[in-house]
């Protein structure tokens, strides 16, 4: 839709999710317009779309900022992901084609390679691969309503660049979950894949916000 606006939204999304633009940063329309080489109109449209996705926050007459999430909101977000994403994985497993299984496996193995301890380098590529990994399941699960409901809810974890906060053990656990999920998918076992996704999310939640005391 609206090509220039869509492209602007895509660029901004990339920059926010990849951390180029920090959480909480101000997004001036004029600055974005000159930087992305379009006028303010498509920029404004892109901002309203990202606001609807929950990636940016809009205040009347006061402009846009990259969204921030309180601990309570993060807790809630994980609660929602736990209710939706394992279900999405279960739906996706029987629909995955061979080439998609190969892509998932490649993603899982590449994340495991760059995340191995001893190689203490940039974890940036993992963020992107992880996003693609989770996104592929949601995409294959297939239905638009599910994708829409999950869209806003998966952003927060990505923006918070959580991999840097993982302990080495938690990170390894997380990356092995990916590999195991591919194995479950290859076996066509939706129950297995769903269970691993659930464990994967609990592990992520524990490192990001700790275990809720309730």
Partner DNA sequence: ATGACCAGGATTGCATGCAATCACGCGGAA
Partner DNA sequence: TTCCGCGTGATTGCATGCAATCCTGGTCAT
Nearer to DNA, 38 or 67 (CB): 38
Which one of the spans 3-11, 127-135, 168-176, 199-207 is the region binding a copy of itself (CB under 8 A)?
A: 3-11
Picked from a copy of itself, DNA, none, the partner binding residue 125 (CB below 5 to 8 A depending on kind) is none
Picked from DNA, a copy of itself, none, the partner binding residue 77 (CB below 5 to 8 A depending on kind) is a copy of itself
Contact between residue 129 and residue 107 where contact means Cβ atoms under 8 Å apart: yes
How many residues form the binding site for DNA (CB under 7 A)? 22
Picked from a copy of itself, DNA, none, the partner binding residue 149 (CB below 5 to 8 A depending on kind) is a copy of itself
Rounded CA-CA distance 195/90 in Å is 9
End-to-end CA distance of the chain: 45
Buried b (16+ CB within 10 A) or exposed e, 163-178: beebeeebbebbbbbb
Nearest to 33 by CA among 5, 14, 60: 5
Convert residues 54-93 into a mask of x (bound to DNA by CB under 7 A) and - (unbound).
----x-xxxxx-----------------------------
Nearer to a copy of itself, 67 or 108 (CB): 67
The single residue among 15, 45, 79, 189 that binds DNA, judged by CB under 7 A, is 45
Least separation in angstroms between CB 99 and DNA: 30
Contact between residue 193 and residue 185 where contact means Cβ atoms under 8 Å apart: yes
**41 counts as binding DNA under rule CB under 7 A:** yes
Neighbour order of strands in the sheet with 56-59: 26-27, 63-66, 56-59
Residue 186, C-beta contacts closer than 8 angstroms, at least 6 positions apart? 101
**80 counts as binding a copy of itself under rule CB under 8 A:** yes
The single residue among 18, 19, 23, 53 that binds a copy of itself, judged by CB under 8 A, is 53
Nearer to a copy of itself, 107 or 193 (CB): 193
Angle between helices 124-141 and 144-159 (to 10 degrees): 170
**3-state secondary structure (DSSP) of residue 193:** helix
Least separation in angstroms between CB 90 and a copy of itself: 11
Nearer to a copy of itself, 53 or 109 (CB): 53
Buried b (16+ CB within 10 A) or exposed e, 12-51: bbebbbeeebebeeebebeebbeebebeeebbbbbbebbe
The residues that touch DNA, with contacts defined as CB under 7 A, are 1-5, 27-30, 38-42, 44-45, 58, 60-64
């Amino acid at each position: 839709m609206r090509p220039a606006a869509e492209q602007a939204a895509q660029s901004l999304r990339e920059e926010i999710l990849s951390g180029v633009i920090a959480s909480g940063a101000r997004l001036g329309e004029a600055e974005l317009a000159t930087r992305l080489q379009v006028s303010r109109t498509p920029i404004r449209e892109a901002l309203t779309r990202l606001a609807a996705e929950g990636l940016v926050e809009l205040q009347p007459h006061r402009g846009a900022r990259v969204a921030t999430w309180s601990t309570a909101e993060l807790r809630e977000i994980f609660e929602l992901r736990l209710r939706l994403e394992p279900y999405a994985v279960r739906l996706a497993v029987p629909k995955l084609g061979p080439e998609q299984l190969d892509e998932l496996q490649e993603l899982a193995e590449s994340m495991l390679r760059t995340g191995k301890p001893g190689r203490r380098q940039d974890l940036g590529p993992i963020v992107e691969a992880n996003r693609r990994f989770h996104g592929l399941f949601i995409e294959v699960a297939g239905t638009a309503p599910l994708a829409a409901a999950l869209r806003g809810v998966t952003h927060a974890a990505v923006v918070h660049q959580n991999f840097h906060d993982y302990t080495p053990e938690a990170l390894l656990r997380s990356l092995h979950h990916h590999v195991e999920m591919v194995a479950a998918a290859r076996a066509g076992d939706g129950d297995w894949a769903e269970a691993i996704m659930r464990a994967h999310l609990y592990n992520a939640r524990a490192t990001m916000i700790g275990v809720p005391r309730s």
